[in-house]
Structure formats: C-alpha cells, structure tokens
Structure 1
Amino acid sequence: MDDATLRAHLQRFGFSEKEVDTYLTLLAHGAAKASTIADDAGVSKRYVYSVSEELADRGFVEVDDHVVPTMIRARPPEEVVDHLITDAETIRPALENRHTKTEQATEQFEVIKSRETVLKRITELIEHSESELTLSLPADRLSAVADELRAALDRGVLVMLLITETDELPASAEGLASITRIWREPMPAMLTADDRVGLVAPAEMLTSSHTETQAIVFAHPQLGPVIVGSFVGNYWPVATEVAVGDPAALPLTETDFRKAVIEATLWLRTEGSLNARIEGRWIDTSEPVSFEGRIVDTTQGIVEPTNSQFPIEASLTVDHEGTHVTVGGEGAFIEDIEAERVTLCNDS
C-alpha cells in the first residue's frame, strides 16, 4: 500500500492530516520523545502531547509518563488492528438493530453544478472502487485523478480508461489503466464503479469555465449496468486501443464476471493456457454446478481483437468432462451456465 492510500485509510478512521503526520512519524521511530516527534512531523511539542493522549485513548499509542522525559510508543500494528476489530464487533449488534428499523434507501442521486465538485466526486468514486472501473475523461483532466487510478490498479481493480480530445496517448497516462483507449472527439465524462455507483457529466462541464450544465452522481442498482452498457456499447468501440496492461496474478477469484473474462483473455494471449473453476448453476435446469476445466476460448468486446457479437457480451468456453460449455455472468440466458464465482488458475 502506497503512502497516499495509507493516509486516506487513516483519515477514514477519524485522523486529521496533522494526526496522520504525527502518527506515521511515531511509527517510523517506534518510540520517541515528544520533541523528536515534533521536529520530524513539523508540529509543536505541545500538539504532540495533546494528540498522543487522544491516540492513546483510541488504542494507537502508549504514553509512558513515568520516565523523564516522557516517552511515546507506537503500539504494535497487530494489536492496533485487533483493537479496531474488537471495537467494530462491539458496535455491530447495535448497528444491525438500527438497520432493521430503518428502510434502506434503494436509490440515490446528487446533482452537481461545479467542475471542482465533479472532479472531487470522480476522485472519491475511484478511491472506493473494489473490482471494476470505467472512466472517460478529457486528456487535460487526467492529472486530477492520476494518483487515484494508480492506487486502484494496485488494489487489483480492472480499470477501463477512455481518454478523449486527444490523438495520442499522453505521457502522463502511462500506468493508469488496465486497458486504455483514446478518441479525438469530446464526449460526456462518465464513470462507473463496480456497476453500483457512477457519474455522468456533459463534456463542456469539464472544458468550459462558464456553463449552465449539471452532472449527476448516482447509486442505483439498475442504473449502473445501463451506464456501463452505454460506455462499452456506444463510446468504447469508436475509440482506439493504445495500451493494455499485464494480467493479474493467479490464482484470481472473481464474482465480477466481466473482469474474469478480460483477465482470462489477457492470460490466454500471454501464456496460452489457463484453467477456471466455475461455481454457479446450469441455466436449463437451475441445478448448481461446480467444476474445474481448461478455458478453451473467451468472448468479449473490451480488448482488441474483440470477438463479441455485441460490445457488452462476455463469456467463457470451458472444457467440462470432454464437452465444451459456455459460461456467462449474472443474468446469463444464452450460455449453458450462469456463473456466480470464477477462479482463474494455472493449467496444471
């Protein structure tokens, strides 16, 4: 985990930026005097004493004021994590109880009127992505989200990036995505994360200082796949593929079927042989099925050369007891199997 991601996670636990600086400085020392921490973290000695007491109450440090000068020690990380888990488990019953009493929101929308807020929301959605990310953005706005895209790749997120308003791959775009395409024309800024949440903003909202247009951020179980379908079906095919990253390390277990298909495609093209463990159900009988077989082929419209009949089509053809069967994802109906989980592994 890089430094920026670590800092972001600590801030989610309620750390301010100064508290992060102080705590990371103390971790680097293990144990130190307040004056040493203050000098290295660029804060006052008085602030170190104050924040150390707060961090001690939260289980992150120990303050030994029985010696002179007072020593501040960072608790071992495994103890800190155990303490956080214990706290989380303690409040779980109360959270679950309150959750059952409240109707869960099934859809959420936010209307945005400023460019700065659009970029902020894009950054936040990238930071919280877990499996798959689609993003279109003008070339001159890439720098605003470059660090977050790199961090997403490091987390194993499949990143499909379409850079608009450019004829060539910007040097700054190297290493930002799993698959990168470019298109010289403007298009709406579109983002989806894990088919759950996303954002759509008119092209002029990111290129013009004065516009009356508005962007929409959404969290809707049906809208996410629709936006992905528009991105992959309408815009992705007209763009030019300019960069493809290496496949993920194996074994790789995925519930995101499209990601499994893309990773399998990349592996087959580099290594030539790959197995898959399929867990799901037979579509004609709804009976559960679980088996491991050699992947014979993939069908997809994301990585060139594509071979799908329509852009969002994604499937695996797998050898099952000497017979080739087709495997689709959630909602599959033309394949033989609807997969719930796919594990890609080396052909043994």
Structure 2
Amino acid sequence: MIRKKSRREESLDHAELARLLPAPGDPHLSLDRHLLLEEHLMSEIQPTAPAPAPSRRPARRVVLIGVPVTAAALAGAFAFTALTGSGGSGPAAATPPPVEAPVVRIEPGSTAQLASTVERIAAAASASKTPEPGPGQYIYIKSMVSYLSVLHTHTDKSKTLVQPLHMREVWSSPDGKQGWLDEPGYQPKGGITVDSDVESSLNAPSYDYLKTLPTDPDALLKKIYKETEGQGNSPDQQAFATVGDLLGEQLAPAKLNAALYRAAAKIPGVVVVDHAKDAAGREGIALAHVDQKSGGRTEWIFDRKTYAYLGSRGVQVKQADDVKPGTVLECTAVLERAVVDAQKQRPGAQGTDA
C-alpha cells in the first residue's frame, strides 16, 4: 500500500501560500506624521548628540541644541506610546503619565498687520542687548515645555495625549561641540551630555555658525530655502520651521534675530494671530504658518507690549488623523536666556554646579 502524504506534509508553493494567507495590510501614515512622531521619539530617547523638538513640530519641532533629526519610517502606527530615555549620569526618574491635549478656540490669522507687526518685532530684536558668549562659556536656555506623547490612545482614537508641562534646561558651548540637557522626568536624574561632533549648519546651528549668516533678509531667506531643499512637506513650511528652530533653544546675535523675523515675513502663508498663549500662560501676538498637509499651525508668540519672543505653540487647525481642530500638540515658553561660565551652572549661581 502506498501511503499518500497529507496536505500538511506537502510543501506549499508561493502561490498557494498567497491564497491561504490574508491579504497584507497597507497602513499609511502621512509624511508630516512620520516626522512628528519621529521627532518626539528622538526627544524621548537619550540622544548621543544634540538634535533639533522638534522641527520641528511640532509642529516641531523638539530642539536639543541643534542637530538635525532624520525622518525614519514609523509605518502603520496610529497609536504611539512615548519611550523614556535611559543611561546618562544617573537612573531615570519615573516618567509622568501623559495628559489629554488641551483644545483651544482657533483664531483666524490675517496678513493685514503682518508688515507692521514684523517691523515692531524686528526693531525690538535689534535693540535687545544679547549677551555674547566667550571662550569656555556656555549658552543657557530655560524653558517650560509640553510635547506630543500619544497621537491616539488604544481605546479612543479621538484622544491625543501630551506631556504634562515641565521644565527643561540646556547648556551649549558657542561652537556647539559640548552641551548638557536637564529635563527631570524625561531624562536621567541630573541630566545627560549632548556633546556633538557634527559640523554646524542651519539644521545643526551653533552660536559661532549663526554669526556667519547674512543679516540681509532676502539673502538669508534664499540661503534657508537652498539649504533646506527637499526637507519637510513644502519649501515654505520647511523655511518657516527652520527659522522657528533658531528662536527657541538658541541664542542668536541681535542683528540676525531681526533679519530672521523680516525673512520669515516674506514666506508665503505667514499670518498674524492676535491672541495666543505660551506654555507659561502668557498671552501675546503670534506669527503663524499652516502646514497644508498636516493641518497643523505653528505659532511664534511675542509679548504684546515689548515684542520679545515668549515661546511657541503647535495647534491643529484642520481635521487630520482623527485629531480634532484646536488640539494643542505642543507648547513652549522660554523663561530665561543667559551666558554662564561653566556647563550645568545657572544664572545667579556662578561658580557652582547646577
């Protein structure tokens, strides 16, 4: 008797396997969401070198003193849970649980007062006394921040979660080679080093590099468009995001700051929003730009009287990926900028470590 092999014992060719298995899924995540989630992922994992929210941003754009974040494929993940950093100078504290993102009323932007508003902002920047770091000194930036944590929860895709508002301090040498980041709850206790050997550029700016940039707005904007070509969702959005990255955790010469604002005013789509609040609850006037692909609006917020830069906010203005309009995906407030004599020193505490 010849025993026939059962079907389980026979080898299956590719065609038969294809018939037996379900069709593969084709999850899709838009480029802006890839970038947004990637930037947040990079901000939560201990960096080996400084990296820019958080270009991005959101919206952002998470900035760790200025090394570019590369876009990686986080395909098919509509639910994303934040990762915490590890390593560094000590054990990481428990990461605070995320909270539901606030929702604000969307105020329409306008170009009616754009030129006059930008001139006031630029004039204030030109008149400001910006400290210049010397050899061996460090640029110190203290901020209050909240960034995207979970785009959708597993149980309710209509909910977007963000980090609770928390403090963040960065120190960077003028050449951008040495740095330190202290972000309690999101980095190991005491902070982590963010040294870098990356050559300075618009995507990885150091103070020394910023001093080499043109202060003519047209020449500056031309350089920004040229050096960021092919990045982001559109040339205009990337140009706006690049300028924004230089306003947060960075120190720029006064004349360059003024040129950056005047250059930004020339980007198509930039508007003035009369009322916006930073992470510290300070209300001001904003320069804003909408990413047409993601539906997110990035806002740079300025004091209504002094026109000093206060912080930034990323607000969803169009429905996208179940994120409701008005959802605040990120928010920052710059509380202090200074030059200190050593890494981990804070202003007013010269000669002692933080």
What TM-score range do you get, normalising by the shorter chain?
Answer: under 0.3
| TM-score calculated relative to the size of structure 2 | 0.26
TM norm structure 1: 0.26
Q: Which has the higher contact order (CA 8 A, sep 6+)?
A: 2
- Larger gyration radius, structure 1 or structure 2: 1
Higher helix residue share: 1
